[in-house]
A and B are shown apart, each in its own frame.
Chain A
């Protein structure tokens, strides 16, 4: 894989061949084991765009989010933010760089300190940066995320799930960042509230010129919200779609799409598209990680690991037998 898009100044974030391995310590009964949560992931996020990272549990999407903000140290690879290699920054400079990149977490119930008032929650980033809180900033932030000013003196338990997630967004916006990493920001909310939060994020992006890295398990939502889509399976990128309407070439992306239930009773599917489940990341097969569940798998898929190959501009898939548009041509 080339270090694609690397030199492109349009990219606010460039992730290059990022790998994270976790080692589990040997216990009384357990031998030392290691698993690669993220393997050799490269991607660029251009300014003002929304890049979606989609996959099921264990695909490494949340680890990737933490690597981007350097909440975790990568085993290999680099993260460049606005041209600066975050791995080369001293702790103090890293803290300064983090002002410009913030995260919104999945669960607004556990990501807000229950003993803090909303005012304290939203003002905390200033305290962390050792700065005075600009007067009126809390009210302004609450207004930006559609919350009434009175909420400032409430505690998290007094708010609904949707309100809490708005507080999470307000806290992320406090220091006027350029990039938000959104890690499943709506996964624990009702669909009605999910739609509200997505609308809010779209409006904020427009008004504040933000760039998003959006992590989700929901391909339907990612296709609605994102400009480009990265599909991950067991730690590796299996496909990159240049636009939400691009037809998938990787059988896993196809299966994810087929597993998304359409809210239309006229379009019923009668067969589950995929059998089996995701194998353990501690015990990865030698070849393609998806081969055991794939109907197109050949003996080559079991012995050799496919790498990302470009099919069209910006469209890459890691598959020896990609799906062809009308499925009549030989693959």
Chain B
């Protein structure tokens, strides 16, 4: 039983179905990677968990998002606020847009604790400085008084993480938290998030397009393609033996040490838009192993040891690389 269970979740706008029967769960002390190319539905899944679909005019059409046994999709906005920002925190891709440019960053962290935990201002303030220090921000008391434009990208993202932690959440949903950062800083932030999960027993849903990041820190991985779940597995088995041709192709897109020139070919074509989803398996037009059945019928999810795959011809042991 996971802390968060996304159960056959479907999301639509008007008559279009954007997400179809997405199922995964994540427990305390665990990092679930949600991967796929742009347009695969990763961020939409995050919005659905946050109950923020109305912002883009979308709604949950079927399924449930159970958090600690409460179905969030059935809560009204007022009751949802007891969860969002308090027990479930969100970290977005661009720290600049998550921070108010006109307010010192420390006060923006205070607000979360005052609102959700009802702490008085002075207590919230010293707590903020404590959190900033725990996030290895040097001279936290000075940083507290600074405005976002005075901080570097990595420092701003740490402040956003501090805001997420201020409500003492059980679950963090991080949507591409390091994409806007330099590579050396990205490594620092990923290690920081990982240690928070391990030390505090948080659950983390990490949304990323970077299979390298997934390999380095996730426990389990759910691969999305064009609004459907392609595959879900433990991280080691997923990289050692991807069952879905899409997962296999995504892993093969990353240059590895000593790789021969020309061996990196990418995935032909691109992710289809919602209005042009192909019939059958949505990956079939780009799949090198496609057969006529792939175009004709939608593959059902079949069980793997510790996971599932939705493919008519999942890769067998021989074809999987080791």
Minimum CB–CB distance for A35 against chain B, Å: 16
B216 at the interface (CB under 8 A from A): yes
Considering the complex, which residues of chain B in the window 250-274 have a beta carbon less than 8 Å from any beta carbon of chain A? Answer: 250-259, 261-262, 264-268, 270-271
A21 at the interface (CB under 8 A from B): no
Across the interface, do A56 and B184 meet the contact criterion of CB distance under 8 Å? yes
Query: Given contacts A224-B264, A263-B215, is CB(A190)–CB(B239) below 8 Å?
Result: no
A221 at the interface (CB under 8 A from B): yes
Across the interface, do A217 and B215 meet the contact criterion of CB distance under 8 Å? no
Interface string of B184-214 (1 = CB under 8 A from A): 1111101110000000000000000111111
Interface string of A170-206 (1 = CB under 8 A from B): 0000000000000000000011111111110010000
A218 at the interface (CB under 8 A from B): yes
Q: Which residue of A lies closest to B136 (CB)?
A: A275
B182 at the interface (CB under 8 A from A): yes
Across the interface, do A259 and B187 meet the contact criterion of CB distance under 8 Å? yes
Considering the complex, which residues of chain A in the window 124-181 have a beta carbon less than 8 Å from any beta carbon of chain B? Answer: 160-163
Minimum CB–CB distance for B265 against chain A, Å: 5
Query: Given contacts A272-B188, A274-B187, is CB(A57)–CB(B182) below 8 Å?
Result: yes
- In whole angstroms, what is the CA distance A323 to B211 when docked? 30
Across the interface, do B266 and A278 meet the contact criterion of CB distance under 8 Å? no
Across the interface, do B37 and A192 meet the contact criterion of CB distance under 8 Å? yes
When distances are taken between beta carbons in the complex, the residues of chain A under 8 Å from B134 are none
A22 at the interface (CB under 8 A from B): no
Contact of B255 among A223, A255, A259, A277 (CB under 8 A): A223
Query: Given contacts A192-B266, A195-B265, A196-B265, is CB(A268)–CB(B216) below 8 Å?
Result: yes
Interface string of B25-45 (1 = CB under 8 A from A): 000000000000110000000
Query: Given contacts A256-B184, A271-B191, is CB(A190)–CB(B209) below 8 Å?
Result: yes
- In whole angstroms, what is the CA distance A277 to B185 when docked? 7
A262 at the interface (CB under 8 A from B): yes
When distances are taken between beta carbons in the complex, the residues of chain A under 8 Å from B256 are 220, 262-264
Contact of A274 among B152, B188, B190 (CB under 8 A): B188
Q: Which residue of B lies closest to A264 (CB)?
A: B215
When distances are taken between beta carbons in the complex, the residues of chain A under 8 Å from B250 are 191-192
Minimum CB–CB distance for B305 against chain A, Å: 16
Across the interface, do B155 and A277 meet the contact criterion of CB distance under 8 Å? yes
Minimum CB–CB distance for B300 against chain A, Å: 25
Most chain B CB within 10 A, of A57, A190, A202, A225, is at A190
Across the interface, do A162 and B270 meet the contact criterion of CB distance under 8 Å? yes
Q: Which residue of B lies closest to A199 (CB)?
A: B265
Most chain A CB within 10 A, of B183, B185, B216, is at B183
Interface string of A242-276 (1 = CB under 8 A from B): 00010000000001101111111110111111110
B235 at the interface (CB under 8 A from A): yes
Across the interface, do B212 and A198 meet the contact criterion of CB distance under 8 Å? no
Size category, A interface: 35 or more
B135 at the interface (CB under 8 A from A): no
Minimum CB–CB distance for A246 against chain B, Å: 13
Across the interface, do B270 and A269 meet the contact criterion of CB distance under 8 Å? no
- In whole angstroms, what is the CA distance A193 to B253 when docked? 9
Q: How many residues of B contact A (CB 8 A)?
A: 49
Contact of B183 among A56, A193, A263 (CB under 8 A): A56
Across the interface, do B264 and A195 meet the contact criterion of CB distance under 8 Å? yes
Q: Which residue of B lies closest to A219 (CB)?
A: B183
Minimum CB–CB distance for A70 against chain B, Å: 28
When distances are taken between beta carbons in the complex, the residues of chain A under 8 Å from B63 are none
B74 at the interface (CB under 8 A from A): no
- In whole angstroms, what is the CA distance A212 to B249 when docked? 27
Most chain A CB within 10 A, of B184, B192, B217, is at B184
Minimum CB–CB distance for B56 against chain A, Å: 20
Contact of A193 among B153, B188, B270 (CB under 8 A): B270
When distances are taken between beta carbons in the complex, the residues of chain B under 8 Å from A260 are 183, 212
Query: Given contacts A190-B38, A195-B265, A261-B215, is CB(A217)–CB(B182) below 8 Å?
Result: yes
Most chain A CB within 10 A, of B136, B255, B261, is at B255
Across the interface, do B215 and A191 meet the contact criterion of CB distance under 8 Å? no
Minimum CB–CB distance for A164 against chain B, Å: 11
- In whole angstroms, what is the CA distance A240 to B78 when docked? 59
Query: Given contacts A195-B266, A199-B262, A265-B236, is CB(A56)–CB(B182) below 8 Å?
Result: yes
- In whole angstroms, what is the CA distance A194 to B211 when docked? 14
Across the interface, do B38 and A220 meet the contact criterion of CB distance under 8 Å? no
B278 at the interface (CB under 8 A from A): no
- In whole angstroms, what is the CA distance A155 to B273 when docked? 17
When distances are taken between beta carbons in the complex, the residues of chain B under 8 Å from A268 are 215-217
Across the interface, do B267 and A196 meet the contact criterion of CB distance under 8 Å? yes
Minimum CB–CB distance for B208 against chain A, Å: 10
B154 at the interface (CB under 8 A from A): yes
Minimum CB–CB distance for B275 against chain A, Å: 13
Minimum CB–CB distance for A219 against chain B, Å: 8
Across the interface, do A272 and B255 meet the contact criterion of CB distance under 8 Å? no
Can you offer 10 A-B residue contacts whose CB atoms are under 8 A? A191-B211, A191-B266, A196-B267, A199-B262, A256-B183, A260-B212, A263-B239, A268-B217, A270-B191, A277-B182
User: Which 7 residue pairs across A and B have the least CB separation, nearest first?
Assistant: A195-B266, A261-B212, A196-B266, A224-B255, A192-B267, A56-B182, A259-B187
